[in-house]
Amino acid sequence: MQYYVRISYIAASLVGIVILGTAGYVLLEGWSIVEAFYMTMITVTTVGFNEVRELSTTGRMLTVALMILGVGTLFYGIAIIAEIRFEERIRQIFGRRKLVKELDRLENHHIICGHGRIGSTVAGEYARESLPHVIIESDESIAAHLDQEGKLVILGDATLDETLMEAHVEKAKSLVCALATDAENVFVTLTARALNPDIFILSRAALDSSIGKMEAAGADRVVSPYIMGGMRMAQSVLRPKLAGFLDEVTGHATTDLDFDEVTVPEGSDLVGMALRESKISQETGVYLLSIRHASGEMRFNPGPDFEIQAGDHLYALGTPAQVESLRKRVLAK
């Protein structure tokens, strides 16, 4: 920042020198403003054209002074600009090395392709949950802004194999396609699926007709912001209290409730145990909304005789402390 302040001082000095020289020629030599300005400019810039008119001794001294001041200031400004470019290049080199080291340490991380309205919201949620993630952004100004904020960002085209490889897609846990067009999102989905068959891919679709194509390309889930937004707006009118409750649970309107998913691992003492026997709700305080088997079957409001299996996903509602208590209970052996 200090360099740009110095450049502004140099620019102001040059303007002052031009004004001083123009006024000097007008007052000392009796020239017109145009002639005086022209003489000042060819002197300061060392162009070396002939004098506009024959100069007096005083006028020649003024010309010498303008040469010294103008040339010195110009060369000083050029040196400052060269120094700025050199330091920027050094910062780019070391910044690049730092980025590569941070990317190499990533594992089971999340990738966001595009930092527009959708991508920035996803990135904000990941940051709120302290999830390791990297952003791929093709807009240089956006990428520079993210880098200044300390975000892990790659400047590049997410549709290219080398860009996804740079983000270590082969080690990533999930990838969100939030690029501007459906065609780009389909292409990224195809590429990511080929590079990592096990990665979870969530893709954004602007058109209804693109949903099937993205699923065929390998997307695990496709979201249409327009369909979801329209349904939420309709529910806000038809069932305002229910919509308000969902906003409370899934949004940030309150910190007293948390709606989360907890997976039952192999070896948990809950495996093979009925809900009545497990006493999950009594011990943790959460309200168990549903359970999804590893096969994909969903059971809403499961009864007391429901038997818990390894790989089951428990969807629970409660305070953050209660949900954390559930996580610990599930991991008990």
Cα distances from 292 to residues 246, 258, 266, 270, 303, in angstroms, run 20, 18, 16, 15, 13
* Domain 256-331 CATH superfamily: Regulator of K+ conductance, C-terminal domain (3.30.70.1450)
Q: What pLDDT is recorded for position 100? A: 64
Domain ranges for the chain, please list them. Answer: 2-99, 107-223, 256-331
Query: Residue 253 — very low, low, confident or very high, per pLDDT cuts 50/70/90?
Result: very low
Contact 329, 283 (CB under 8 A): yes
Q: Taking CA 23 as the corner, what is the angle to CA 19 and CA 29, rounded to the nearest 5 degrees?
A: 145
CATH class of 2-99: mainly alpha
Q: What pLDDT is recorded for position 119? A: 92
pTM here is 0.57
Distance, in Å, from the CA atom of 113 to the CA atom of 104, rounded to the nearest integer, reads 18
Where is 292: in which H helix or E strand? strand 287-292
Q: What pLDDT is recorded for position 91? A: 60
Express each pLDDT in 107-133 by its tens digit.
889 999 999 989 999 999 898 888 999
* Residue 40: half-sphere exposure toward Cβ, Cα within 13 Å: 22
Q: What pLDDT is recorded for position 90? A: 60
Please indicate whether the domains covering 107-223 and 256-331 agree at the CATH topology level. Answer: no
φ, ψ of residue 33 in degrees (nearest 5): -60, -40
Average pLDDT for residues 221-233, to the nearest whole number?
81
Express each pLDDT in 144-193 by its tens digit.
888 888 888 888 999 999 999 989 999 999 999 999 899 999 999 999 99
Enter the CATH code of domain 107-223: 3.40.50.720
